Amino acid sequence: MTSLLNLDAESTEALRRAGATGEPQEVHHDLRSHELLTLEALADLAVSLPADSIEHNVGKLPDVVADGRAPQLEVGLHDLITGIETNGAWCVLKNIEQDPRYSALLDACLDDIEDLVSGPGQAYNREGFVFLSAPGSMTPSHIDPEHNVLLQVQGQKTMLTGSWVSPEARAVEAERLVTGGHRNLSFDLDDPVEHVLEPGDGIYVPPYTQHKVVNGPALSISLSVTWRSPALADEVKVLRANSYLRRARVTPSAPGTRTGVDKAKAGAMTAAEKAKAALKRGKQG
């Protein structure tokens, strides 16, 4: 079976290392162009997706936009995308797997990636995102809640990844995100590391990693392929349990620092979710 990404041995080892260390890792791939990833094809996809699957704003933003609010261009979506090389916009198409053609593209990419990071049979909830960026665009500092490999298809961009000063600092921001907060951070990256991405380059970004993106001097098209895992789902349960403890004025331990406590928190949240579901079914009956 032919591989779409055709990852080399170095990239395969980097993804395995990412799974072991939980750190960003650079990779190389063969997805430098694709008929579904041209501007015209993406413009057609955008207008076919639900409105909440599209996000766009002007591209030149500061490093920190804590509330996520940014001005938008007053232009139709199809024209915004086809003209993005000169109109100064930034746009993301979310959950491209809603279109069967893009779902197949996502599967072809993740078939090569996810088991290397999360282990065989551990990945689920595949989602795809396409980022289109005008020259000089900035994606402010933020975190994301899933495993992510960003594949650069066209143009150049630089991703900067930061390091948390402590597990507790990471936990506070991750907890804020999973309880409804915005992905953007209220501060710039700590101890940033630059990753320059040309077509054929990519980077694995672990869940809740600080990062921001600076676009190069030309139009950029990037495909982000993401997934979840049972271990990540358990961490979300721990983070939500911690949010309840904070409301009770208890300072909880960060996920990963006390394994036994984490298991108890995740178990308690699972039991609570089952009880809530049962109560809801009872009311409907």
Q: What is the pLDDT of residue 279?
A: 82
Rounded Cα distance, 160 and 203, in Å: 11
Within 64-99, residue ranges assigned H as helices are: 77-82, 84-87
Q: Whose CA is closest to 86, among 44, 122, 54, 132?
A: 132
The pLDDT value recorded for residue 1 is: 53
Task: Tell the burial category of 215 from Cβ atoms under 10 Å away from its Cβ (0-12, 13-18, 19+).
Answer: buried
Residue with tokens 């098209």: 221
Q: How far is CA 36 from CA 51, 54, 99, 101, 226, in A?
A: 20, 17, 11, 8, 18
CATH of 9-228, one of 3.40.718.10, 3.90.226.10, 2.60.40.10, 2.60.120.10: 2.60.120.10
Q: Name the region of 155 (left: φ>0; alpha: ψ -120 to 50; beta: rest).
A: left
Tens place of pLDDT per residue across the chain (285 aa): 578 999 999 999 999 999 999 999 999 999 999 999 999 999 999 999 999 999 999 999 999 999 999 999 999 999 999 999 999 999 999 999 999 999 999 999 999 999 999 999 999 999 999 999 999 999 999 999 999 999 999 999 999 999 999 999 999 999 999 999 999 999 999 999 999 999 999 999 999 999 999 999 999 999 999 999 999 999 999 999 999 999 999 999 999 999 999 999 999 999 988 888 888 787 776
Give CA–CA dist 67/88, Å, rounded: 21
Residue intervals of the chain classified under CATH 2.60.120.10 are 9-228
